[in-house]
Amino acid sequence: MQHIRNLEQDVRTLEDSAEKDHTSLASKIDEHTQELISRCTMDGKAHDALHDWLMPFLRLNKEYAAAPDDATRSAKFKEIQQSLAAFHERFE
């Protein structure tokens, strides 16, 4: 959970920032998710549920990182925020 918390903190920091460094956030999200993957010790249904959330989230972050303009980046950023909210609905 610590990697998810760190990821969420970085998302909140960008949300509250006047200057939106989306490139840096996409990189940080990638770092946090790679740490989550490399240190995962879950198994069974919990692991499967995490995997079901994580795989689309990883694709979303790739789209966010590759967004060609500010409007697309902002839309993908909102999708990231929604995905994190969905994470908490699944894993309370």
Check residue 5 and give its pLDDT: 93
Round to whole Å and give the CA distance between 18 and 33: 25
Q: pLDDT for 40-82, tens place per residue? A: 877 888 788 888 999 999 999 999 999 999 999 999 999 999 9
Longest Cα separation, the chain: 42
Domain residue limits at 38: 2-90
Round to whole Å and give the CA distance between 47 and 68: 34
Q: How many domains does the chain have?
A: 1
Q: Where are the alpha helices (DSSP H) in the chain?
A: 2-16, 22-38, 44-65, 70-90
